[in-house]
Amino acid sequence: MKFTADLHIHSVLSPCADLLMTMDNIFQKLKENDIKIFSITDHNSNKNSEVFQKRAKKEGLLFIPGIEIQTSEEIHILAYFPSLEDLEKVTNIIYDSLPPIKNREEIFGYQLILDDDDEFVEKDEHFLAGATSLSLEDTFKIIKENNGIIVPAHLDKTSSLISNLGYIPSLDFDVLEIYMKHKIEAFKEKYSIDKPIFSSSDAHIPDSIKKGKIEFEMDELSIEEFFKSIVNNTFKII
């Protein structure tokens, strides 16, 4: 069976996301665009993951526990995990590595935690807009030690391996993300990319969630089949 996916979406927990990035609005866009697999990849935090997973089960969609980590080199790294427990372990390490200051929402934006009813119930006080003290190599190791998939984010945008380093290091990344589909072949050639490619919306507003860019070939809609598809490379850009 074939399922389309969007694996890079920010909720109201990310300080750079619009206040309209609530569960109701995100799920409405997912259903409008027939996206069956998705991940909420908030900046340096997982605090909205559990409510999205609960809602996804009710809606018949597959939620992939995920996060977008900012390394000490200010490189954005996406990570996906087989369970909320694995993601929680990594998030705790990230929190310990963030600058010891509170978020200033009037400058950086709100960081809102949702409940099961899609209501704002709490604010994450960590400075999620900042870089962690974790190097790229540290981040790679932590993700792998906790059963995760590591995906350097949007190579064709800022805060990426290319924009910040100018090259792709020889770490064994699982997949690379390129935001603009029309740039994929040029990037593959220029940087000798031999890894599979993801492309997602990186949505910070609801209207950015459009037709999925990735199609997975899976026997069933499950987290086990998703990770098997990554290992077997049975997905493609569409």
Q: What is the identity of the amino acid at 73?
A: E
pLDDT tens track for 95-132 = 999 999 999 999 999 999 999 999 999 999 999 999 99
Handedness of CA 187, 155, 168, 171 (dihedral sign): negative
* Res 4: pLDDT: 98
Q: What is the identity of the amino acid at 78?
A: L
Sorting pLDDT into bands at 50, 70 and 90, what band is 51? Answer: very high
The fold for domain 2-237 equals: TIM Barrel (3.20.20)
Task: Decide: 149 and 230 in contact? Cβ < 8 Å.
Answer: yes
Q: What is the identity of the amino acid at 37?
A: I
What's the predicted TM-score (pTM) here?
0.97
> Which among 90, 89, 86 has a CA at the least distance from the CA of 77?
90
* Res 179: pLDDT: 96
Sorting pLDDT into bands at 50, 70 and 90, what band is 37? Answer: very high
* Res 22: pLDDT: 98
> CA 233: distance to chain centroid?
19
Q: Percent of the chain at pLDDT above 90?
A: 100
pLDDT tens track for 149-171 = 999 999 999 999 999 999 999 99
Q: What is the identity of the amino acid at 32?
A: E
> Which among 119, 129, 111 has a CA at the least distance from the CA of 22?
119
Q: Which two tokens stand for residue 3?
A: 């399922």
- Whole-angstrom CA distances from 68 to 27, 117, 194 are 20, 25, 23
pLDDT tens track for 205-215 = 999 999 999 99
Tell me the mean pLDDT in the region 41-51.
98
Handedness of CA 125, 131, 133, 138 (dihedral sign): positive
Sorting pLDDT into bands at 50, 70 and 90, what band is 24? Answer: very high
* Res 8: pLDDT: 98
> Which among 45, 22, 84, 104 has a CA at the least distance from the CA of 223?
84
Three-class DSSP labels, 179-221:
CCHHHHHHHHHHCCCCCCEECCCCECCHHHCCCCCEEEECCCC
Q: Percent of the chain at pLDDT above 70?
A: 100
Mean per-residue pLDDT of the chain: 97
Backbone angles phi, psi at 28, to 5 degrees: -60, -45
Q: Which two tokens stand for residue 96?
A: 């310990």
Sorting pLDDT into bands at 50, 70 and 90, what band is 70? Answer: very high
Q: Where are the domains of the chain?
A: 2-237
